[in-house]
Amino acid sequence: MTAMPTNVAEPELRDWLTATTGEHIANDYDAATQLLATFDFKAKDSSSLNNQHQIASCLAPAPTTWPEPFIPLSAEAAAQHLLEAFRITRKPANYATIFVDLPTPVIVSRHQCPFCRRFTRADVRQVNDHMTRCWQNPGLRCCKTCIHHQDGSHPEDDESCTHPTGPEWEEYRFPVLHCPLWETAHPETFVAQEGEIKERR
Ligand SMILES: [Zn+2]
């Protein structure tokens, strides 16, 4: 029979924080990671258990007015904040051996280009960078999004520009970017606004 773990009291938590993270919480996410290796956190106002974001937000520096520097939370204040929000118990002493060979599900975020929907990366900066070059970005005024573009899928026709004053087929090189003759192939999706093409969906 397993005994119910008793709730951790404030002096115990404060001393543990002081010994582990020091007098002040320098990094709220690192501290939450360390806390989660030793304790279980059950939210008092919801059913959430061991939510690292929630724990880290209890440890965030005290708000100050710019340009005052952030004041890191003391271990004592951190213990108070945590105990206001959570019922905290110690993990069983043999926790590491109990869970060591269980697969752990992880949820990851990726970012997708809204234009082509093909380019995805974990790093949003790479997607932002791609979007400036994506042929499906209407702001680039490229053949791929132009109503005058004929793709090469028809067996008797080569890829070409069908605009009357566009380049002849032997001069045409795909893709033309920032084309003055460009007109959207999807007028229902995009609307011209202040000289720019904006996404409407
Ligand atoms: Zn794209």
Beta bridge partners of 160: 150
Beta bridge partners of 7: 89
Q: How far apart are CA 88 and CA 35, in angstroms?
A: 10
Q: Quote the ligand 1 centre to 175 CA distance (angstroms).
A: 15
Q: Quote the ligand 1 centre to 184 CA distance (angstroms).
A: 17
Percent of the chain topping pLDDT 90 = 56
Q: Quote the ligand 1 centre to 122 CA distance (angstroms).
A: 14
Q: What pLDDT, on the 0 to 100 scale, is given for residue 12? A: 95
Statement: residue 69 has pLDDT above 90: no
Statement: residue 96 has pLDDT above 50: yes
Is the distance from CB of 173 to CB of 159 less than 8 angstroms?
no
Read off the pLDDT band of 201 (50, 70, 90). very low
Q: Quote the ligand 1 centre to 159 CA distance (angstroms).
A: 21
Which residues, other chains included, contact 190 with Cβ-Cβ below 8 Å and sequence gap of 6+? Answer: 138, 184, 197, 198, 199, 200
Statement: residue 194 has pLDDT above 60: no
Q: Quote the ligand 1 centre to 139 CA distance (angstroms).
A: 12
Considering the chain, what is the average pLDDT of its residues? Answer: 85
pLDDT in tens, 137-190: 999 999 999 999 988 777 777 788 989 988 887 888 888 899 999 999 888 765
Is the distance from CB of 161 to CB of 185 less than 8 angstroms?
no
